């Protein structure tokens, strides 16, 4: 039996300012120079607590998310990258997230030298009015400048996040953003519609925001236009929200969709070994204090029963535009639930999936109704 690959995720919570739609755990990067050394040491201490859970010869990807990892100094960020890359020489993909305002040529050159080979940049829009609505800290020209800076630093694999359903966004403004993307040296794009999450500033003004958000038919137009525009630019849609040029699919994110086990370090980080999953405490000082005392900072864990795990992991993997062999999936995730195949046949009748000779794959129509698919299978 082939042993499964493994992933590492490091949560860097620092942000210059938390966006009003963001529901991730972040802390202010104000006076970061007073905080980052202690934070770096805390990450190393937590790692030391969990090293025994990480197979030294099977770590495939390393991902620095946040927050904004590029808020760290070049010295601190490159130190972390080099430390983990040296410890796990099998790592093939090292991704660092960054926002345009914290990307400099010097910093990206430094992290590239020590092993970073992929950057993910939070662009969201190339329309200044929409960036203002989202209260982003950059304008469109700064976003484009950051992309070219990363390219100039020698990193070829560049991903950006793009958003639609922004209040005040129009079909025309979204098309302008898509047209500008064609001239940018990016290899990957993650496309998200704005979701107003609980416990965010946007949630408090949800009713007024919804009045300004694109209508359902306009939202659908934006999605379809993005799919066609990106295809024309050489990107293939390999997952519901992810587009890549050939050879540039996100190895790390595919791990999540294909149930690759992973360990997360840092405040709020998740871990999942395939049978149980856990989350670290969502509090900066509490996280630091816990690991400094030698305590595991986990605040939540659960073990899923076999049937629930099977269905949940199947739904996640179905997001990929890639056939799932039901027998192979069952060998990894457990026995196929009794009513599962009959539900798949119902979804096939709706043309949401194809189901033939034990192979299951989502259709483009199914991608538009993925929530319905998930509800049906659950």
Longest distance between any two alpha carbons in the chain, whole Å: 60
Q: 307-377 in CATH: which number?
A: 1.10.10.10
**Predicted pLDDT at 323:** 96
Report the distance separating Cα 190 and Cα 237, nearest Å: 10
Question: Given the structure tokens 């990107």, which residue do they identify?
Answer: 235
Which ranges of 233-270 does DSSP label H, i.e. alpha helix?
Answer: 251-257
Tens of pLDDT, residues 48-62 = 999 999 999 999 999
DSSP lists the bridge partners of residue 303 as: 276
Report the distance separating Cα 73 and Cα 94, nearest Å: 17
DSSP lists the bridge partners of residue 120 as: 97, 159
**Predicted pLDDT at 176:** 95
Percent of the chain with pLDDT over 90: 91
CA 277 from chain centre, in angstroms, equals 18
Q: Provide mean pLDDT across the span 273-279.
A: 90
Say yes or no: do domains 6-257 and 307-377 share a fold: no
Task: Residue 70: count other Cβ atoms within 10 Å of its Cβ.
Answer: 28
Residue 320 DSSP one-character state: B
Least confident range of 201-205, 283-287, 293-297, 338-342 = 338-342
Tens of pLDDT, residues 198-221 = 999 999 999 999 999 999 999 999
Phi, psi of 352 (to 5 degrees): -85, -30
Residue 68 DSSP one-character state: -
DSSP 3-state percent helix, strand, coil across the chain (nearest 5)? 45, 20, 35
Q: pLDDT averaged over the chain? A: 95
Q: Provide mean pLDDT across the span 83-90.
A: 97
**Omega within 30 of 0 (cis) for the link into 90:** no
Q: Is a pLDDT exceeding 80 seen at residue 106?
A: yes
Report the distance separating Cα 113 and Cα 203, nearest Å: 42
**Predicted pLDDT at 340:** 92
Q: Provide mean pLDDT across the span 76-81.
A: 97
Tens of pLDDT, residues 133-183 = 999 999 999 999 999 999 999 999 999 999 999 999 999 999 999 999 999
Q: Provide mean pLDDT across the span 85-112.
A: 97
Confidence tier at 343 by pLDDT (50, 70, 90):
very high
Residue 335 DSSP one-character state: P
Closest C-alpha among 24, 102, 105, 30 to residue 69: 102
Strand 270-272 relative to strand 27-28, pairing = unpaired
**Predicted pLDDT at 180:** 94
**Omega within 30 of 0 (cis) for the link into 67:** yes
Tens of pLDDT, residues 224-271 = 999 999 999 999 999 999 999 999 999 999 999 999 999 999 999 999
Closest C-alpha among 231, 162, 160 to residue 192: 162
Which ranges of the chain does DSSP label H, i.e. alpha helix?
Answer: 36-50, 74-87, 105-113, 128-133, 140-152, 171-181, 201-204, 206-212, 216-232, 251-257, 284-292, 306-317, 326-333, 340-349, 364-368, 370-377
**Region for 239 from its dihedrals, namely left if φ exceeds 0, alpha if ψ lies in -120 to 50, beta otherwise:** beta
Task: Residue 51: count other Cβ atoms within 10 Å of its Cβ.
Answer: 11
**Predicted pLDDT at 164:** 96
Confidence tier at 1 by pLDDT (50, 70, 90):
very low
Report the distance separating Cα 136 and Cα 130, nearest Å: 9
Q: 6-257 in CATH: which number?
A: 3.20.20.70
End-to-end CA distance of the chain: 30
Report the distance separating Cα 76 and Cα 264, nearest Å: 18
Closest C-alpha among 225, 223, 224, 245 to residue 235: 245
Confidence tier at 304 by pLDDT (50, 70, 90):
confident
Provide the residue ranges of all domains of the chain, joining segments of one domain with +.
6-257, 307-377
What is the pTM for the complete model shown?
0.95
């Amino acid at each position: 039996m082939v042993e499964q690959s493994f992933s590492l995720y490091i949560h860097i919570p620092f942000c210059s300012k938390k966006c009003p739609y963001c529901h991730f755990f972040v802390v202010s990067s104000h006076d970061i120079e007073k905080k980052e050394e202690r934070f770096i040491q805390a990450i190393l201490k937590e790692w030391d607590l969990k090293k025994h859970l990480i197979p030294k010869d099977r770590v495939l990807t390393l991902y620095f998310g946040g927050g904004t990892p590029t808020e760290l100094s070049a010295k601190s960020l490159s130190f972390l990258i080099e430390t983990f890359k040296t410890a796990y020489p099998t790592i093939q993909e090292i991704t660092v997230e960054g926002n345009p305002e914290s990307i400099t040529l010097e910093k990206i050159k430094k992290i590239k030298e020590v092993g970073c080979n992929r950057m993910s940049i939070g662009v969201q829009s190339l329309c200044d009015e929409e960036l203002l609505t989202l209260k982003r800290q950059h304008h469109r020209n700064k976003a484009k400048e950051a992309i070219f800076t990363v390219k100039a630093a020698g990193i070829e694999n560049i991903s950006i996040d793009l958003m639609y359903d922004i209040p005040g966004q129009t079909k025309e403004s979204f098309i302008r953003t898509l047209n500008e993307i064609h001239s940018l040296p990016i290899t990957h794009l993650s496309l998200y519609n704005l979701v107003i999450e609980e416990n965010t500033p946007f949630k408090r003004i949800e009713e007024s925001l919804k009045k300004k958000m694109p209508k359902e038919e306009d939202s659908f137009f934006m999605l379809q236009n993005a799919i066609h525009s990106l295809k024309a630019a050489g990107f293939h849609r390999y997952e519901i929200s992810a587009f890549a040029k050939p050879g540039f699919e996100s190895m790390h994110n595919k791990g999540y969709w294909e149930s690759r086990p992973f360990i997360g370090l840092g405040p709020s980080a998740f871990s999942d070994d395939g049978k149980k999953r856990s989350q670290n405490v969502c509090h900066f000082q509490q996280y630091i204090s816990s690991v400094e005392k030698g305590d595991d900072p986990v605040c939540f864990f659960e073990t899923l029963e076999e049937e629930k795990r099977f269905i949940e992991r199947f739904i996640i993997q179905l997001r990929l535009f890639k056939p799932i062999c039901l027998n192979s999936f069952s060998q990894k995730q457990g026995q196929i639930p009794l009513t599962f195949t009959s539900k798949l046949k119902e979804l096939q009748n709706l043309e949401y999936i194809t189901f033939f000779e034990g192979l299951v794959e989502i259709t483009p129509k199914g991608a538009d109704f993925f929530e319905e698919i998930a509800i049906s299978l659950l």
